Amino acid sequence: MQQLLEGLRVLELSNNVAGPFTGKLLAEYGADVVKIEPLEGDSARHQGPYKDDIPNVETSLLFLHLNTNKKSITLNFESENAVDITKKFIDKTDIVIESFAPGQMENWGLSYEALAKDHEDLIMASITPFGQSGPWKDYKASEIVLQALGGPLHANGSAFREPIKSGGNIAQYHTGIATAFACIAARLRIIRGGRGDHIDQSIYEAQAGFRDRRTSFTTGTSYTGYVAKRQPPGARPASGPRMTTDGYANIFASGSRRFPAALDLIGRPDLKDHPDAKKQPHLFSQEFASELEGSWMAWLINRDKKTAIAETQEIGLLGGAIYTTKDLIEDEHYRSREVWDTIDHPVAGSAAYTGRQILLSETSRKKPLRAPLLGEHNNEIYAEIGFTKKDIDEMKKNGII
């Protein structure tokens, strides 16, 4: 069965997380993604963790995750012919994903305007920390900087300590999702008879529409002027992460319309008659809050996290177990929906990878391809744009590829 994006040609000139995740999403649904890497490889190849904790450009777990279903070629962008070679690839491409500094593609004569003159249906997605224009366009940024300026960091962590970032590269992953969506939207316009597009994607700005609580806080501030503050641990009795026999469960009972049922569940129906029971949690008296929290903790600590979730979900309470990575891989629900793919790699070995995130009734799930070795497809891809084996060998000898 044909894949959704089969026949779509994508050239990935990006590294680290945001651009490669954009390419990964397109590749998972059938796009032919060719990744051009510098001779030393994508910067993600040089970030741990590594298999067996031994640094190796072929076993970075971050790179292996971000680059499934792609082909890799190498090119020294400092070499004399690099721009001409890149132009040859772009001429045969539908979508270009690039993450160079603002103005770099233009300096090379590869700006969208220059390329689109003879390639009207070209889509170019330029991903940078702060966009192609504005006073911050040349600023550098890391994940923590991006979360601090545009995302959730202000609201994270204990009220008694400095703010902390959300784990991993959440701002960059969200940018990959946003950019992939923009590429498909632009492609839809082309199919309807329109032109291509230059997508100016700022990682900082991508968080403005993110589902994280910073969005609702920002909207609230614009109406009321109130700036949300971090709450101390346990500020809301019988709600939030709490310990179980085998870890933690995150359940929200107090303040919900199912709160009376929760009191029955934990064996404290008598608390329903307390004057505070119908109030919002921030109005609870210290006496009621302490009594409720103690009973809630006593109930949880006698259950494992899955049992606690099953019982509270049964009465309509919002909540979920806080899973370890091992829990995720072994979970029967995810296993039943085939979330995990087992992929073999010639250097990294066999491991479980997260599969594509959307299931479609009319598109079969294709067998995933492992992440490529550095420059693995040089001979194949360079031959497609007219280079002979002798040419390719000469370019390798001269440090061009």
Q: What is the pLDDT of residue 150?
A: 82
What is the gyration radius of the CA atoms in the chain, in angstroms? Answer: 26
Q: How far is CA 278 from the centre of its chain?
A: 40
Q: What is the pLDDT of residue 214?
A: 55
Q: What is the pLDDT of residue 23?
A: 98
> DSSP of 188-206, one letter per residue?
HHHHTT---EEEEEEHHHH
Q: Any residues with CB less than 8 A from the CB of 207 and at least 6 apart, and which?
A: 146, 147, 150, 151, 152, 171, 174, 214
- What is the CB neighbour count within 10 angstroms for residue 116? 17
Sheet-wide strand order for 197-202: 70-74, 32-37, 9-13, 95-98, 123-128, 197-202
> DSSP of 380-392, one letter per residue?
HHHHHTT--HHHH
The residue assigned the tokens 């132009």 is 87
Distance, CA of 109 to CA of 87 (rounded, Å)? 9
Q: What is the pLDDT of residue 56?
A: 97
How far is the first Cα of the chain from the last one, in angstroms, to the nearest whole number? 36
Closest CA to 99 of 18, 14, 29: 14
Domain boundaries of the chain, sorted by first residue: 9-212+336-397, 239-327
Phi then psi for residue 248, to 5 deg, are -135, 150
Class of domain 239-327: alpha beta
Q: Are 252 and 317 in contact (CB under 8 A)?
A: yes
Q: Find residue 344's DSSP bridge partners.
A: 350
Distance, CA of 58 to CA of 56 (rounded, Å)? 5
Long-range contacts of 62-65, Cβ-Cβ distance < 8 Å, separation of 24 or more = 62/17, 63/371, 64/345, 64/348, 64/351, 64/353, 64/370, 64/371, 65/353, 65/354, 65/371
Q: What is the pLDDT of residue 209?
A: 67
Low-confidence ranges of the chain (pLDDT < 70): 1, 209-222, 226-234
Cα angle, residue 156 at apex, residues 18 and 236 outer, rounded to 5°: 140
Question: What is the token pair recorded at 255?
Answer: 């303040």
pLDDT tens digit sequence for 159-171: 788 888 888 899 9
Q: What is the pLDDT of residue 152?
A: 73
Return the SS3 of 339: coil
Options 3.90.550.10, 3.40.50.10540, 3.40.640.10, 3.40.980.10; CATH of 9-212+336-397: 3.40.50.10540
Q: Are 142 and 149 in contact (CB under 8 A)?
A: no
Quote the longest CA-to-CA distance of the chain. 87
Alpha helices in 92-142 (DSSP H): 104-107, 112-116
Q: What is the pLDDT of residue 148?
A: 87
Closest CA to 75 of 64, 63, 89: 89
Q: Any residues with CB less than 8 A from the CB of 358 and at least 6 apart, and which?
A: none
Closest CA to 98 of 88, 85, 86, 116: 86
- Is the N-terminal amide bond of 49 cis, ω within 30° of 0? yes
Q: What is the pLDDT of residue 154?
A: 76
pLDDT tens digit sequence for 290-335: 999 999 999 999 999 999 999 999 999 999 999 998 999 899 998 8
Distance, CA of 97 to CA of 18 (rounded, Å)? 10
- What is each CA distance from 199 to 24, 127, 131, 178, 196, in whole angstroms? 18, 8, 10, 11, 10
Q: What is the pLDDT of residue 234?
A: 60
Phi then psi for residue 153, to 5 deg, are -60, -40
Closest CA to 156 of 217, 247, 224, 219: 217
